[in-house]
Structure 1
Amino acid sequence: MSLKKTLYAASAFALLAGASYSETTVTIATVNNGDMIRMQGLTDDFTAQNPDIKLEWVTLEENVLRQRVTQDIAAKGGQFDVMTIGTYEVPIWGKQGWLVSLNDLPDAWDADDLLPAIRGGLTVDGELYAAPFYGESSMVMYRKDLMAAAGMEMPEAPTWDEIKAAAAAMTDKEGEVYGICLRGKAGWGENMAFLTAMSNSFGARWFDENWKPELNGAEWTATVNYYMDLMNNYGPPGASTNGFNENLSLFQQGKCGMWIDATVAASFVTNPKDSTVADQVGFALAPDNGMGKRGNWLWAWSLGIPAGSDATDAAKKFVAWATSKEYTALVASKEGWANVPPGTRTSLYENAEYAKVPFAAMTLGSINAADPTAPSVKPVPYTGVQFVAIPEFAGIATQVGQEISAALAGQQTVEQALDKAQMLTSEEMEAAGY
């Protein structure tokens, strides 16, 4: 279908969702990243089709968003009609009956077009409990010009040792260019998302098959020491406060030789409106350590409807619009194909125009390479690549992340941080009855 025809189909799509609404307000909680900000700027298209639905936005930093929506849904507070939530929350909350099933979205929305890995992470017992806005894994984004100046080439599938060598070669602290930028900000979805994925490639796991923590074991110790070596020698100053948005800004300003983070960042580092190095960015798979696992994750930022919403029908109409093929076409028409939300639909990766985007194939390959059912080298009792899919994980991993961030800031040793992490995790798991 041509772009023009696809856009024309948007108005027809709106009719498929059914009833009209009278002065209905839909309150949407979302994260302050670029794709979500872009969506807010395009909602005139939705309100033109639905003049009797008013949208109200609550836009929050990632850690704050997670805290607010978790508190609200657990308490049945009813503050929000649509929540931006991730692959961690959806199966847990769906199983607890906290989310509205989306199995009845219009046929035109085409649930069968969703990538199996993404759809599977949002489905419980055959019920889809959130619609993916974008899907992601993680990969290496690097400066081709700095690699060339160092006389090096980035392999398509690098090892951690090759990453360290490249970081050393590209670091020029006097010129404020740092060989590598990685997440250091504490949070289960910030530094611990990166470190948990990294640890998989070092053979580590959060728990053994009997749910006993292994955080001060040899594999986690090797992971965190390697991370500290990279960050302390080749990373930017103040890295313990840097999360996704801070590192994105550093990379766009030309201050990072490499950045290992979400594949969704590719459109922002290659956009000449925002990035001073847009024409010099290359991509590679997340590193491995020769053990058969790469340090990449699997995630989808998705739109879910809490069971306490009093505007469920209107919320479904918005969710269907924001996660549709028609919305993708709308973004392409306004911003270009490189800026459409990636990683959710098979049809996007079959699109000849999108195939020309330099990071499209690497993103899809990274998503397909992540296996939530077997994330580590050793067998584990849990699912999840950069998280453990149990309700207790968010609290535990946030505390662990604080200890590791403190070590990165020089306030304690890696051994001290991991011993504390082991103790607090053991106490929390014992209290939870594992």
Structure 2
Amino acid sequence: MTLAVSAMLASTAPAWAQTELNIATVNNGDMIRMQKLTDDFTSKNPDIKLNWVTMEENILRQRVTTDIATKGGQYDILTIGLYETPIWARQGWLVALENLGDDYDAEDILPAIREAISIDGKMYGAPFYGESSMVLYRTDLFEDAGLTMPEAPTWDFIADAARKITDRSIDLNGICLRGKAGWSENIAFITAMSNSFGARWFDEDWQPEFNGPEWKNTLQFYVDLMQDAGPPGAASNGFNENLALFQQGKCGIWIDATVAAGFVTDPKDSIVADKVGFALAPDNGLGKRSNWLGSWNLAIPAGSQKIEAAEKFLSWATSKHYTELVAASEGWANVPPGTRISLYENPEYLEAAPFAKLTLDSMNAADPINPTVKPVPYVGVYFVAIPEFQGLGTIVGQLFSAALAGQSTVDEALAQAQEVSVREMTRGGYIK
């Protein structure tokens, strides 16, 4: 063959092509860390290129919902929660994850999480981390104030302590709680809180209950506490904003996701890393605590043309190997928590993470089937597992955030929440 013919054949040969995966994810610390560690994946899978689309939580949920509902095909991998996973799976919007590899060990996933993301025994999401909620507090401030945090505090104790340790003169807020409007921001927290006050979104006949005394007690307690001991502009603060405040030493108490424990005890980011204690989410003596059950999961939209490549990435990102990779890079206390049984049997992790047992106990105590004091027709601890909840929860979240900001009264917010809930539930056919 002549050199000219060889050159011609070489020029017309198809170029080697990579499979590109567009990954929609949330802008929290664990997901940002994962992006920094993906060289481990791409070095073993050079035929796969990862494109990250990182968004604030409210925006992420809105965009992935729109994309999958309209079959837009913008993303190959979605980051979704316990709320979306089973609902979207039943609607045929997600791929059943049956090819994650022989060494994936799905049976090692905590039963509460695995069951929540499965339909008929098939997983439709790969859990990246799982969580409940807990109290995180400044041990030095409690000692200075002569306070001792109980392992299982009440809301009255939390409120009293928060007011006592507040010091506006040095920008020290007694407590930081979610105020940012969103069904997965302030509504997630306030719904879990309301469970401990005896409230429920709907009675057994799907009638909304925002006009009842339990909801009035919940929201009034929350607003009064935040006005007395919370940070300025609290109606704009979600998980990330409160995390930053706590790490900067500006919060005495923070009640939020257990996953936060690793971030507030990391001396690289937190100036109070050696002054943090933990306790169970508060209760009101009614038999229910304010702890929730949640997880961030990686899922593949149905109809994807890149299922094989996407499954490879999901398997890597939620594997035992990835946990060890984070441990080697960042330390055992910073590995993604709340998904695998083996992590809570690992002595290295238990030694490095003083919050590990409390996290596991809180997750195991959450009961999505019976989340409230009174019986309810729905499943879900900090959400109601019906398709309408995403839109309804967003509207109610805006009403509650406005009450926190002083733009309306608690009574006005609850009356409007009742009105919009009755309308939406009637439109959805739940009530006549």
* Shared fold (TM-score, shorter chain, > 0.5): yes
* SS of residue matched to 1:268: helix
2:221 alignment partner, SS class? helix
Deviations 1:319-346 (A, max 9, x none): 0000000000000000000000000000
Q: Which residues in structure 2 correspond to 1:14-413 (within 5 Å)?
A: 22-356=17-351, 357-413=353-409
Matched letter for residue 150 of structure 2 = P
- In 1, Cα distance between equivalents of 2:23 and 2:193: 33
TM superposition outliers: structure 1 runs of 4+ over 2 Å: none
Distance 2:100 2:41 in 1: 16
Q: What is the root-mean-square deviation of aligned Cα atoms in Å?
A: 0.8
Q: Quick one: percent identity of the two aligned structures?
A: 69
Opposite residue 421 of structure 1, the aligned amino acid is: A
Q: CA offsets, 1:125-181, max 9 Å, x none?
A: 221100000000000000000000000110010000110111012100111101100
1:431 to 410, 427, 432: 427
**SS at 1:83 equivalent:** strand
What does residue 417 of structure 1 align with? 413
Alpha-carbon contact 1:202-1:219 (below 8 Å) kept: yes
Q: Tell me the amino acid that sits aligned with residue 249 of structure 1.
A: A
SS in 2 for 1:139: strand
Deviations 1:93-151 (A, max 9, x none): 00001000012321200000000001011011221100000000000000000000000
SS of alignment partner, residue 174 of structure 2: coil
Output the CA distance in 1 between the equivalents of 2:44 and 2:92: 31
- Aligned residue for 1:29, secondary structure, equals strand
Equivalent pair of 2:293/2:366 in contact (CA under 8 Å): yes
How far apart, CA to CA, are the structure 1 residues paired with 2:92 and 2:350?
39
- Structure 1 residue 385 displacement after superposition: 0.1
Q: Is the 8 A contact 2:99 2:311 kept in 1?
A: no
Cα-to-partner distance string for 1:165-205 (whole Å, 9 max, x where unaligned): 11012100111101100000000000000000000000000
Structure 1: gaps (5+ residues): 1-20
Amino acid in the other structure paired with 1:171:
T
User: Larger C-alpha radius of gyration, 1 or 2?
Assistant: 2
Counterpart secondary structure, 1:180 = strand
Q: Which amino acid aligns with 2:98?
A: N
8 Å CA contact 1:77–1:308 kept in 2: the answer is no
Contact map agreement 2:153 2:279 (CA 8 A) in 1: yes
- Output the CA distance in 2 between the equivalents of 1:103 and 1:387: 28
Aligned length: 414
Task: Tell me the alpha carbon deviations over residues 290-342 of structure 1, each in whole angstroms, 9 at most, x when there is no partner.
Answer: 00100011100000000132111000000000000000000000000000000
> 2 CA distance for matches of 1:116 and 1:208?
28
Matching residue's letter, 1:402:
Q
Contact 1:100 1:129 in 2 (8 A): yes
**Could you tell me how far apart the structure 1 residues matched to 2:81 and 2:167 are?**
37
3-state SS of 1:151 partner: coil
Shift of 1:22: 4.9
Q: Which whole-Å CA distance do the structure 1 matches of 2:292 and 2:167 have between them?
A: 29
Secondary structure at the aligned position of 1:326 is classed as helix
Deviations 1:48-88 (A, max 9, x none): 00001000000000000000000000000001110000000
Partner secondary structure for residue 189 of structure 1: coil
